[in-house]
């Protein structure tokens, strides 16, 4: 009797971890293992020195992932060292870890991607490390067999960035494929203005937070304002800024933002995937994002079957032979991407 295939699920944020778990539950008779996100070389060393705590390589994200793995009694395999895996499933190809290169790999879109700024151009044309462009560079590794994406709109966007059309599967993505299901979610407040902040400063981007807070207060026009801070934000700094400029506002550091969106009258975002939720629920939305473009990218609403769709893709990939060679561009990058940063 053939052995069950072994599959490694590489997690990251809590959202990514939940997505990986949902996919694994739909894959049938497999041996599934889970690991927090990890890195090799200098990036890995910096993570071990707790210098990357604001990223999915450490800090709150790693703690929440490990707590989720333990709470749901999943099998952990830190850094994927336990097995020679038949398949690897990951939510990020910004780093392709050494021990998964040359394996069957399925990439799953996590959520909304960053705009393509200067860092993206440096990554695409000068082969700088992908992680410098954050999620804007998602898909550019070409190290996967299939890239599962949220919608036709995102397929077109990724193709425009340079992803091979033949490698894209439009499956929808877990956690964002049944957005109207949260419309009756319970939350102690109603008819307020919800502000969902983004960790722009923490990821090296410009953010005039005082002006943004003042703008939110103006939009509220006397209504209750509730701020939900992004998990990656420096909460103490954000708290001080909000308290100084909007002293009557309520501030939440933790908790599921979806019930907050469901019970709000107005939702204000910077650059957040929760914009999808607000738009799906028909809320009045204000955002840094181009809302018309957001509508074209809206994840497929398939009643929560995306995990099953992705699992079917994974089963198909498991039937394929192993890649004959590791992608040559992994080893032949220009000197602008040093080997210690290789991902």
Residue 293: its H or E element? helix 291-297
CATH classification of 182-297, choosing from 3.40.50.2000, 3.20.20.140, 3.60.15.10, 3.40.50.300? Answer: 3.40.50.2000
CB atoms under 10 Å from CB of 6, counted, come to 17
> 313: helix, coil or strand?
helix
CA atoms within 13 A on the CB side of 175: 23
- As a whole number of angstroms, the distance between CA 120 and CA 270 comes to 19
**Domain positions in the chain:** 6-177+299-341, 182-297
What's the pTM?
0.89
Over the stretch 281-340, which tens digit does the pLDDT of each residue have? 999 999 999 999 999 999 999 999 999 999 999 999 999 998 865 444 444 444 333 333
Going by pLDDT thresholds of 50, 70 and 90, the confidence category of residue 184 is confident
**Topology agreement, domain 6-177+299-341 and domain 182-297:** yes
pLDDT at position 185 is: 83
169, 148 Cβ separation under 8 angstroms: yes
Q: What is the CATH number of domain 6-177+299-341?
A: 3.40.50
Over the stretch 324-338, which tens digit does the pLDDT of each residue have? 654 444 444 443 333
Going by pLDDT thresholds of 50, 70 and 90, the confidence category of residue 100 is very high
Residue 306: its H or E element? helix 306-318
- As a whole number of angstroms, the distance between CA 105 and CA 166 comes to 15
Q: Is the pLDDT of residue 96 over 70?
A: yes
* The two three-digit tokens of residue 212, written as one number: 């943004």
Over the stretch 49-79, which tens digit does the pLDDT of each residue have? 999 988 899 998 999 999 999 999 999 999 9
Over the stretch 241-277, which tens digit does the pLDDT of each residue have? 999 999 999 999 988 999 999 999 999 999 999 999 9
- Taking alpha carbons only, the member of 5, 3, 94 closest to residue 52 is 94
Q: Which positions ≥6 away from 103 have C-beta within 8 Å?
A: 85, 86, 87, 88, 322, 323
């Amino acid at each position: 009797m053939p052995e069950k295939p072994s599959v490694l699920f590489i997690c990251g944020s809590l959202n990514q971890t939940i997505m990986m778990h949902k996919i694994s539950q739909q894959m049938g008779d497999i041996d599934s293992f889970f690991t927090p996100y990890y890195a090799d070389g200098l990036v890995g060393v910096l993570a071990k020195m707790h210098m990357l705590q604001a990223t999915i390589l450490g800090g709150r994200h790693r703690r929440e992932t490990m707590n989720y793995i333990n709470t749901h009694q999943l099998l952990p395999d830190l850094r994927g060292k336990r097995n020679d895996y038949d398949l690897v499933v990951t939510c990020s190809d910004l780093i392709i870890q050494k021990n998964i290169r040359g394996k069957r790999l399925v990439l799953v879109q996590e959520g909304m991607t960053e705009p393509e700024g200067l860092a993206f151009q440096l990554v695409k044309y000068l082969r700088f490390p992908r992680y410098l462009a954050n999620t804007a560079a998602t898909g550019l590794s070409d190290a996967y067999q299939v890239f599962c994406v949220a919608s036709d709109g995102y397929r077109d966007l990724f193709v425009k960035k340079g992803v091979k059309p033949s490698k894209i599967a439009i499956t929808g993505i877990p956690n964002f494929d049944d957005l109207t299901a949260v419309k009756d979610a319970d939350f102690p407040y109603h008819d307020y203005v919800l502000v969902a902040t983004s960790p722009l400063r923490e990821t090296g981007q410009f953010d005039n937070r005082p002006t943004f807070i003042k703008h939110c207060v103006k939009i509220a026009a006397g209504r209750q304002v509730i701020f939900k801070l992004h998990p990656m934000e420096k909460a103490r700094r954000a708290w001080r800024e909000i308290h100084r400029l909007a002293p009557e506002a309520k501030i939440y550091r933790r908790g599921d933002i979806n019930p907050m969106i469901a019970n709000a009258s107005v939702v204000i975002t910077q650059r957040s995937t929760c914009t999808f939720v607000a738009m799906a629920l028909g809320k009045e939305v204000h955002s840094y994002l181009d809302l018309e473009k957001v509508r074209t990218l809206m994840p497929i609403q398939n009643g929560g079957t995306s995990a099953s769709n992705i699992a079917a893709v994974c089963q198909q990939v498991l039937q394929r032979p192993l890649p004959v060679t590791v992608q040559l561009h992994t080893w032949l990058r220009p000197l602008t991407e040093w080997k210690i940063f290789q991902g």
